[in-house]
Structure 1
Amino acid sequence: MESAEAVAKVEEWLRAVHGPDVSAPGGAGLRVHHEKVLRVPEGWSVPYNTIAFLDEGHAEKEIFPPPSVIVREPDGELRQAHPQPGGLSVPVAFPGQEAWREVVDPEYAKAGLGDLGVPPAVVAGWVQVNAEGVQTGQERENPEYKAGPVRRGYPKPENRLETLLSFASVGWLTREQLLIGLLRCEVYVPLDLASGKTERFYFNEERAELRVFSSTRNLPSREHGYWRVDIATLAGYESPPNLVINGGPATFEDVSGAELAETAHRFPRRDTSVDVNERCPEADPELETFAAETAAKMGLPEPVKPPLAAAERARRRGFELTPEECQKTVLGQSWLAALKRPEPPRGRPNDLRANGLAPGYDNEGQIQPRLDTFGKYFDRDRSSSRYGWQRVTGAFVGFALGEALGAAVDRMRLDEIHGTYGPDGVTDLPVAFDLPGRIGPLTQRLLFYTEAVIRSPHREQPENRDAERALGTVARNSLMRWLHTQGAPLDNADGWLVKVPELRVRRTPDDAELNAYHALATVSPTAMPLSGPDALVAALPSAMTAAGPGSAMSGGVRQAVRDLVSVTHPGEIDVEAATYLTWLFEPALTSEAFSYPIWNTSREIFDEHNPHQRGPVWTDLKAMVAESVPFFGKHGLPDLRVPELIGDGKGTLSVLGRAFAALSGFENYPEQALLRAVNHSGRSAITGAIAGALLGARTGIPGLPQKWVEQLELRYLVENIATDAFWHFDRHSALHEVDGWAQRYPRW
């Protein structure tokens, strides 16, 4: 379509709306602004304004913002351009006619990519409006609609480039739209700080290929400087390089220099060029000055080094240290150096976190300062685990956070929740156990179950079947230590966890429940087996037993979880459901850069060839997943599930299903996902805990709602024992590397 044809279509529309004399004397006084007709990605942009402004120079007569009609190619559809850059165009209206308004996926609508048009696949459907613009109640779904990448659980993009790549990966953008969009993006190229040059590793002269990255967070961990340049500048080179774009986990794109040059010729640059060399926060020279000043104040013989190693460890786990975190790392390392001196300071800082420190716990359960790693990296970088440290700690803290959210409404009906907290239910950390953010009995048991798997002798005797069979006894002993913190007598309570003063707080108000656990832990003849979703608490500690090569039991995590669960919840439904959840934690905790979303992994666990997945309970488990987890890998609107409608909210399978329903489609919206997991009838605390653990495994601690993490009681204690479990089951186990580990975690 040529510009003249586009102008003719707009002039015809102006006459239809404003009358045939729209541009004649006595008419509406409007005409097309021919000098500003412009080709845009969506087609042709045809602006119009008043004749008084365009031809007679009356500035006060201008329509502002200047309106424009997009003539879309190739179908010639007329669309009213959005007055703001990046806004979405909408189909033009004709007077006196009904119309169908587009319902665009909010993920696309909020992305600021309206300059690329409104692709058909982002339109979820249409609602009908009458001639007066009032909705009639008629709706149509778009069978070609596809759920967006964020809803599907892809990594959440941080910038325009990552947004473009993710949209293209799900078919929302054509190749041309992607190329046009790329021209307005910046990329990052690793740079040697000493020479100011790009290493040959990132530029292949033979193929004229340049490796670029979408953000500094995605740079290779060893790099601390970069060249920041916009792609339009690269496209303008005499010989534009071919780009290999790393957009983060699971997102890569190859773009030829010829493609970019041709696209840039058709859609010339409108933005200012970007072409600068910069440093990552950890390589800021001011940090060296700060380290020297801090050393002088503390009387250190020499300043600590800039936090390059810490930043590398964080980046390997998908995070980046902020400038403030870099400064706190220098401060924290300085404090630790001062505390190790023959004449240490008289006291520790009162506010550990403000000084780059965090609470650690010694073998007597007392707080000892350690370096704060902000939930972004393990400070002993020798891991050869199947799991990612950030995922393990995220899962444990997420579990505690989910329980803290659900504890206040646990066992309430949904109408009671609404009556107490309003029509939206719980919207913030509610008061439970006297204050918001208190850990509850589920988290307490999680900690002691984790202690049990660490204290089990099977880790140091991997070929000894008798050592494996001891796990049940070890679990009973750990339950006794937990009960001791709740007031039960116990002689010679050993290990560090039972000595933590803050754990000696009663969080289980039901004496009957405590008595039942005590009877089972002591193998009393009067003990009655428990049943219900609390059996699921054992899944995460059981998954930890297979973290490192050669650390699992002969029967894998299935053996571990069955031994743990059977101590208190030996019923088939509880045991099999906990087994399923443990298998689900294995891929969720992966050390890989990308952890797949629950709608994907929850189905992949099922294996028709697995002899341990047979029988009526496994049939019910499959039915539960089908009922609670939508499938996003197809066209059409996804059927997001409502947790309240999954079972009764009390049984083990129902709780598991409600946790899945709360998460599915919301894994990139952590606050919303957690609130969905607790705002329902029944067992809100355990549902929130399971959802929080699965969510935290994907996001790590930094990806959980920080306003709630900051209020979470004993957050660092939870992180501490998760780290201990991670290290214990690593190939380079603390069992062999740390003096006093056997005192910290005595056998049995």
Structure 2
Amino acid sequence: MQQGPDSHERFLGSMLGGALGDALGFAVEFRGIEAIRERYGPDGVTGPVLAQGRAEISDDTQLMLFTLEGLVRAHVARRMQPVDNDPVPEVQHAYQRWLHTQGRTWAEAAGPYGVHLAEPDGWLIAQRELFAVRAPGNTCMLALIEFGRTHRQATPENAANDSKGCGGVMRAAPVAVWSHDPAEVFHAAVGTAALTHGHPSGYLSAGVLAVVVHQLIREVPLPDAVRLARDLLLRWRGHEEQLRLLDAAVELAERGPVPPEQLAERLGGGWVGEEALAIGLYAALAVPDARRALLLSVNHSGDSDSTGMVCGNVVGALHGVRALPPEWLDVLELREVVTALSRDALAEFSPAPPADAAWSRRYPAW
């Protein structure tokens, strides 16, 4: 009898599943469901839509990768100075490196981090494919540009704006590796999302997703993972809107798959944090396999790449890499980068993380 996926396979599945969902949805983002059906048939997209032989990812996967890299570098720093238990400054630094990939000079993007180096450092920034511009969200761009100018880090208490766009939740799943404590994971995910999104629904959605993935990696059943995340959500001010959509997603999933029109009526389009989380979770809860859940999460009139990302993060953690369609993975852009960084993260967060000079060059800590 085949064993189920272990925690490492589940985490890798979450990262690859998120990238798959992003790629599936990126092909139909900004299209209404009727336009999707007209172009791809009555069932909408049924697999990756290729551009030059690849399923292209969007800025969602790019930011997921930079979030994870920031967490790895924060953990390296914590090993050097155990009193430092806040990953948010290192994740901010990672986001400034992403901003540089989107056409901003390092002098513009670096902010206070430019004092140390004339150019951004580390392994991830050297992956030239990440310099592709894939419809980056204005809210993220403007918040990071402002940080580069003012050096002021945004927090829930000192918000960058009042945005509840989905740009905070779609990059939050990697925070699941930060701590064994789900409350600490929720807090860290909120902090990373609040760097660019200042409305509670923009950052609390990130906390919920990170905790759900955190629990799934530990083989907690999905309904129980959602319940724990819900309990933690209740501790935060301004949770009411997110709570309402979270509960609506769970209730709708009990009916199984519903038409896209009904999905939009109940959960919205996914353009904002609470809706993107709700649609992605609904799809993962509504159907038992990763392939169908991913397709359900992107075939609607809304922000399909972000809802696909959330769903992929969840179903990948739930079922492991083995459940992701191999023919889809074969054409996924940046698959090797996602895999390499995810495995590096698992090594860094292991009981015996690498300590050689090459690792420090790959993931500098400062």
1:427 lines up with 2:61 in the alignment: no
1:567 and 1:624 map into 2 onto residues whose CA distance is 23
- Cα distance change on mapping 1:606 and 1:695 into 2, 3 Å: same
Identify which of 582, 586, 590 aligns with 2:214: 586
Higher relative contact order (Cα pairs below 8 Å, separated by 6+ residues): 2
Q: Report the counterpart of residue 468 of structure 1 in structure 2.
A: 85
1:443 lines up with 2:69 in the alignment: no
Task: Give yes or no for contact 2:164–2:199 (8 Å, CA) kept in 1.
Answer: yes
Q: What letter is aligned with 1:426?
A: V
CA displacement 1:477-522 (0-9 Å, x = unmatched) = 2112112222221232110110122223222367x56741541441
Which runs of structure 2 are paired with 1:350-499 in the superposition (5 Å)? 388-431=7-50, 435-456=53-74, 459-461=78-80, 463-464=82-83, 467-469=84-86, 471-490=87-106, 491-499=118-126
Identify which of 623, 647, 653 aligns with 2:267: 647
CA displacement 1:448-472 (0-9 Å, x = unmatched) = 11111111265315641xx334x33
Identify which of 157, 174, 196 aligns with 1:541: 174
Q: What letter is aligned with 1:498?
A: I
Q: Report the counterpart of residue 722 of structure 1 in structure 2.
A: 342
Q: Report the counterpart of residue 145 of structure 2 in structure 1.
A: 519
Sequence identity (%): 27
Deviation, 1:677, is 0.4
- Cα distance change on mapping 1:489 and 1:588 into 2, 3 Å: same
Which runs of structure 2 are paired with 1:118-129 in the superposition (5 Å)? none
- Once the two structures are overlaid, the 10-residue window that deviates more, 714-723 or 480-489, is 480-489
Secondary structure in structure 2 of the residue aligned to 1:629: helix
Task: Give yes or no for contact 1:399–1:693 (8 Å, CA) kept in 2.
Answer: yes
1:563 and 1:622 map into 2 onto residues whose CA distance is 19
Structure number having the greater helix percentage: 2
1:565 and 1:558 map into 2 onto residues whose CA distance is 11
Task: Give yes or no for contact 2:212–2:226 (8 Å, CA) kept in 1.
Answer: yes
Structure number having the greater strand percentage: 1
- Cα distance change on mapping 1:746 and 1:653 into 2, 3 Å: same
Identify which of 666, 676, 682 aligns with 2:287: 666
Listed as ranges, the gaps of 5+ residues in structure 1 are 1-214, 219-248, 250-316, 319-387, 633-637
Q: Report the counterpart of residue 606 of structure 1 in structure 2.
A: 230
Q: Report the counterpart of residue 157 of structure 2 in structure 1.
A: none
Secondary structure in structure 2 of the residue aligned to 1:664: helix
- Cα distance change on mapping 1:573 and 1:513 into 2, 3 Å: closer
Deviation, 1:436, is 4.0
Q: Report the counterpart of residue 744 of structure 1 in structure 2.
A: 362
Q: Report the counterpart of residue 195 of structure 1 in structure 2.
A: none
Deviation, 1:438, is 1.4
Task: Give yes or no for contact 1:646–1:658 (8 Å, CA) kept in 2.
Answer: no
- Cα distance change on mapping 1:644 and 1:431 into 2, 3 Å: farther
TM-score normalized by the length of structure 1? 0.43
User: How many residues get paired?
Assistant: 342
Task: Give yes or no for contact 2:215–2:225 (8 Å, CA) kept in 1.
Answer: yes
2:342 and 2:230 map into 1 onto residues whose CA distance is 28
1:576 lines up with 2:204 in the alignment: yes
Task: Give yes or no for contact 1:663–1:673 (8 Å, CA) kept in 2.
Answer: yes
Q: What letter is aligned with 1:622?
A: L
Deviation, 1:543, is 1.4
TM-score normalized by the length of structure 2? 0.84
Higher radius of gyration, 1 or 2: 1
